[in-house]
Structure 1
Amino acid sequence: MSQPAPVTETTHRLVLSSAGRIHSVEQGSGPLVLLVHGFPESWYSWRHQLPVLAAAGYRAVAVDVRGYGRSSKPEGAAAYRMLELVEDNVAVVHALGEQTAVIVGHDWGATIAANSALVRPDVFRAVGLLSVPYAPRGGPRPSEVFAKMGGEEEFYVSRFQEPGRAEAEIEPDVRGWLAGFYAALSADTMPPADGPDPHFASRGGTLRDRFPTGRLPAWLSEDDLDVYAAEFERTGMSGALNRYRNMDRDWEDLADFDGSPITQPSLFIGGAQDASTTWMADAINAYPATLPGLVASHILDGCGHWIQQERREEVNEILTGWLASLPA
């Protein structure tokens, strides 16, 4: 049986939202599938999924999250709270002339996708989560939890809290920092398990001190790295980092959803060598209660954090199979 021809025509749009404008990249026609990236990425992280989903009969749309790429970058960290990002996604769906969509996210995008499905079930009829599991709102204030991690070392999320601090580490050499960060979390280039953990920095040191050097992960070409670096060199890093600076605000804003499950049909794909999967194993084990509509959960052996780029063919096969299983 012949395979459908790939869809190569790509449409870029700028749609209005409370952020100002959200940039989206679209291929195909059919039921809408909204793709949401994580840190430090862009719509380009879905370059391997857009044509495949389009060929499978879907309208695949990848966005630049507010603060990234060609999307607007509002002033002030509070503009990047979760509820604002949820409404950006709703605005994109409606601007495209649709009432509902399937939403799929990776890394921070997975958390944004999960909360979009939780807060706006009228719009998001199914949710796919890549790399970061769903964990309902609850427990202590996030900043208190992160401050206790690492002992004498500093956890990267805590390090990102102070405006300007992480920017000062990254922005003098955006390309080099990104190359090291991507390599640190990729299965084929990450440090050995018994080496210093790149999610932490020693007191007085930097995260980059622990990044591997010398080669890029197999999924990342020099040209790919140029695309990512050019965007952040143009925009700076503050818009992206502001997502981390709202975790306490999110905890407050989402108090009414404490412990709430996501009931729509859902999917999870994680990497066996990804810290997000291993650190949050309890969240995955809780899926019967927290994701009662879970259709499938996959842990990919030998895979790190950048899952839809590291293992694009497997992820594409899982995504298209899951989408085909959903009610019309």
Structure 2
Amino acid sequence: MPQPTPADRTHRLVPSPAGRTHLVEQGDGPLVLLVHGFPESWYSWRHQLPALAAAGYRAAALDVRGYGRSSKPAAESAYRMLDLVEDNVAVVEALGERSAVIVGHDWGATIAATSALVRPDVFRAVGLLSVPYTPPGGPKPSEVFAGMGGEQEFYVSYFQEPGRAEAEIEPDVRGWLAGFYAALSADTMPEPGAPDPHFVTRGGTLRDRFPRGRLPAWLSEDELDVYAGEFERSGLTGALNRYRNMDRDWADLAGHQGAPIRQPSLFLGGSLDASTTWLADAIEAYPTTLPGLTASHLLEGSGHFIQQERPEETNRILTEWLGGLDA
């Protein structure tokens, strides 16, 4: 049987509460919805689309609202988590399905987890890449982030101030993206003891700490051009507005404080990824917070962009997990 290729992908625009959601789908079978993180697009799943199609699934990778060809509402508050959940529900319905498995990476993992939490009637299983599940609740996020770093400023607080990160990024979107991807990838991230790119020197920029002059092995110049082209057209404000709604999410989800996700779940992280190491306690809590966890993997030597850094292993783990859901 011929293996799926990029030529087999179908681009679609479907109606959603955002206005429209752009997605790329490939394959036939049970629906698997793929949700990207920051600062990426549907393209971050380019290695998974053909693999899932070959395994007998209908894979659909979307552009989250504010990204790529999806709608970009003007109001900052239009990017709260519950709005993104409803976009996902609308995509499932627009594709003629009643339910789906949802898989997310980075912010997409949190979007996927929240989708599974609040709409278990639609999302029958959830896969989380790089960012562990932490139930809603706890202290107000902006206060937590403001207290991190001491004399330095945590990147989330930096991103939360409207216009500030945009002023850093806009003059050279391609160069900024190259540095950001390099900073969090295993083969190009700063050596231990070097200034941490998750923090900003007071009065400085995040870019000051990015590696320069070398792309990570998973990213070619042509692939970087794809990402840069998307953000040069769309700008970064829609993407950054996700960070600017964390306090609103905290209030919106107060009724789910401490709630576990009970559907079958998967976690896949990288051993060199700060998202995994900083949230090690969240992973240890999975017996309570993810009682339906059926597979958990930590890839040694992988950084943050796990499905692009280690596509073959990611594809194997995903397809084995998906195959076990209906076994």
Bucket of the pairwise TM-score, normalised by the shorter protein: over 0.9
Q: Spell out, residue by residue over 1:244-268, the C-alpha distance to the aligned partner (whole angstroms, 9 max, x if none).
A: 0000000000001000000000000
Distance in 2 between residues matched to 1:291 and 1:84, nearest whole Å? 23
83-92 or 10-19: which moved more?
10-19
Match of residue 92 from structure 2: 93
**Letter of the structure 2 residue corresponding to residue 180 of structure 1:** G
Question: Structure 1 residues 69 and 296 mapped into 2: Cα distance closer, same or farther (>3 Å)?
Answer: same
Shift of 1:162: 1.3
Match of residue 206 from structure 1: 205
Match of residue 225 from structure 1: 224
Distance in 1 between residues matched to 2:79 and 2:3, nearest whole Å? 39
Distance in 2 between residues matched to 1:131 and 1:4, nearest whole Å? 32
Match of residue 6 from structure 1: 4
**Letter of the structure 2 residue corresponding to residue 116 of structure 1:** S
Say yes or no: does 1:64 pair with 2:52: no
Match of residue 172 from structure 1: 171
Shift of 1:63: 0.1
Q: Spell out, residue by residue over 1:170-195, the C-alpha distance to the aligned partner (whole angstroms, 9 max, x if none).
A: 11100000000000000000001111
Say yes or no: does 1:302 pair with 2:297: no
Shift of 1:230: 0.5
Shift of 1:76: 1.0
Aligned residue for 1:322, secondary structure, equals helix
Aligned residue for 2:56, secondary structure, equals coil
Indicate if the aligned counterparts of 1:4 and 1:55 stay in contact, CA closer than 8 A.
Answer: no
Q: Spell out, residue by residue over 1:209-265, the C-alpha distance to the aligned partner (whole angstroms, 9 max, x if none).
A: 000001100000000000000100001100000000000000000001000000000
Distance in 1 between residues matched to 2:147 and 2:192, nearest whole Å? 22
Distance in 1 between residues matched to 2:34 and 2:263, nearest whole Å? 17
Aligned residue for 1:29, secondary structure, equals coil
Q: TM-score, normalization: structure 2? A: 0.99
Q: Spell out, residue by residue over 1:90-147, the C-alpha distance to the aligned partner (whole angstroms, 9 max, x if none).
A: 0000000000000000000000000000000000000000000000011110000000
5 Å-filtered alignment, 1:25-174, equals 25-174=24-173
RMSD between aligned residues: 0.9
Indicate if the aligned counterparts of 1:270 and 1:298 stay in contact, CA closer than 8 A.
Answer: yes
**Letter of the structure 1 residue corresponding to residue 4 of structure 2:** P
**Letter of the structure 2 residue corresponding to residue 6 of structure 1:** P
Shift of 1:52: 0.5
Shift of 1:6: 2.6
**Letter of the structure 2 residue corresponding to residue 43 of structure 1:** W
Indicate if the aligned counterparts of 1:36 and 1:64 stay in contact, CA closer than 8 A.
Answer: yes
* Runs of 4+ with >4 A deviation: none
Consecutive unaligned residues of structure 2, counting only runs of 5 or more, are none
Match of residue 248 from structure 1: 247
Shift of 1:29: 0.3
Q: Spell out, residue by residue over 1:31-63, the C-alpha distance to the aligned partner (whole angstroms, 9 max, x if none).
A: 000000000000000000000000100000000
Aligned residue for 1:89, secondary structure, equals helix
Distance in 1 between residues matched to 2:155 and 2:76, nearest whole Å? 18
Match of residue 327 from structure 1: 326
Match of residue 288 from structure 2: 289
Distance in 2 between residues matched to 1:108 and 1:70, nearest whole Å? 18
Shift of 1:4: 6.5
Q: TM-score, normalization: structure 1? A: 0.98
Distance in 1 between residues matched to 2:8 and 2:273, nearest whole Å? 33
Indicate if the aligned counterparts of 1:4 and 1:56 stay in contact, CA closer than 8 A.
Answer: no
**Letter of the structure 1 residue corresponding to residue 115 of structure 2:** S
Distance in 2 between residues matched to 1:264 and 1:215, nearest whole Å? 41
Shift of 1:10: 1.1
How many percent of aligned residue pairs carry the same amino acid? 80
